[in-house]
Amino acid sequence: MNRLTRKLERYVRLGAEERVLLDQVTRSVDRIGARCDIVCEGNNSDHVHVIVEGMACRYKITSEGRRQVVAFLLPGDFCDLRLGLLSEMDHSVATLSECRVARIPREQIERMAARPLLARALWSAALADEAVLFEWLVNLGARDARSNLAHLFCELLIRLRAAGLTSGDSYKLPLTQQDLADTAGLSSVHVNRVLQSLRSDGLISFDGKSLSILDAERLSELSGFDASYLQLGRHEPPARNLDAQSLADRLTAAE
């Protein structure tokens, strides 16, 4: 199952035709190096991008030149679905690690949205992304530095686990202290102190490449983390009545 299908099926029970269509539209994949822009603020494109492998982020640059990270993108996440509706991007998206990124033509997005199950899945995924953004706003405005980063680490554990990308309570996290500072609205020096504090309390182990949560219960209590906002309830896909090749032939004929 491809990453996009896996994500959308967290929200909606897709049929076999929808699954084949998602396989078709994500066949064109580019490999992009770490720390490269996928799409920049003000850009327009005939394609929408989906992270297939690796980790990326959404960010804005202030008039003073400071970067604010506003979201982390994981496998299965759209980078710029809004380009299907808007004339240009209102923020930038960059890779944090080397990524494989699928390029989906706009007309294929319209084709997906014309199918009720996929339209509902796309809408549900957008609402889940919005819920994450709301929680990040709470992190910035109402949680102290320790709780802020602790909440982020808990969130990433659950999101990456849903994508099948964790080992126990450990996961790859290709972030620098400056990345974390730009996410949490802190200085890199402050982030360093918080990480040392979380390590000394036996809550995490982090080496800049991977993170292990050593005591998930205590880390959740520290941050007030409640995973319900991630809306990760999974639906089982229905049984297939037709083989994949016959469905692919039908979808191709309908174009």
Same domain, 166 and 60: no
Task: Pick the closest to residue 103 from 79, 74, 124 (CA basis).
Answer: 79
Assign residue 217 the CATH number of its domain. 1.10.10.10
Under DSSP, the state recorded for 25 is: H
Q: Does some domain include residue 203?
A: yes
Q: Does some domain include residue 81?
A: yes
- Burial level of 197, CB count in 10 A (0-12/13-18/19+)? middle
Same domain, 119 and 148: no
Q: Does some domain include residue 206?
A: yes
How confident is the prediction along the chain (255 residues), in pLDDT tens digits per residue? 899 999 999 999 999 999 999 999 999 999 999 999 999 999 888 899 999 999 999 999 999 999 999 999 999 999 998 776 677 899 999 999 999 999 999 899 999 999 999 999 999 999 999 999 999 999 999 999 999 999 999 999 999 999 999 999 999 999 999 999 999 999 999 999 999 999 999 999 999 999 999 999 999 999 999 999 998 865 543 333 334 444 445 444 444
Structural contact between residues 73 and 93, judged by C-beta atoms closer than 8 angstroms: yes
The 29-32 sheet, strands edge to edge: 29-32, 99-105, 47-53
Count up the domains in the chain and report the number: 2
Helix residue ranges, H only, the chain: 3-8, 16-25, 106-113, 116-142, 145-162, 177-184, 188-200, 216-223, 244-254
Same domain, 203 and 103: no
Same domain, 120 and 150: no
Same domain, 119 and 29: yes
Q: Does some domain include residue 229?
A: yes
Quote the CA–CA distance of 142 and 232 in Å, as a whole number.
25
Same domain, 87 and 204: no
Q: Does some domain include residue 161?
A: yes
Structural contact between residues 213 and 153, judged by C-beta atoms closer than 8 angstroms: yes
| Beta carbons within 8 Å of 161's beta carbon, 6+ residues apart | 171
Same domain, 157 and 213: yes
Amino acid symbol at 110: E
Assign residue 60 the CATH number of its domain. 2.60.120.10
DSSP 62-77: -TTS-EEEEEEE-TT-
Phi, psi (degrees; rounded to nearest 5) at 5: -60, -45
Say if strands 67-73 and 56-61 run parallel, antiparallel, or are unpaired: antiparallel
Same domain, 223 and 151: yes
Domain with 218, as residue range(s), is 143-233
Q: Does some domain include residue 132?
A: no
Same domain, 153 and 110: no
Q: What is the pTM of this model?
A: 0.89
Q: Does some domain include residue 255?
A: no
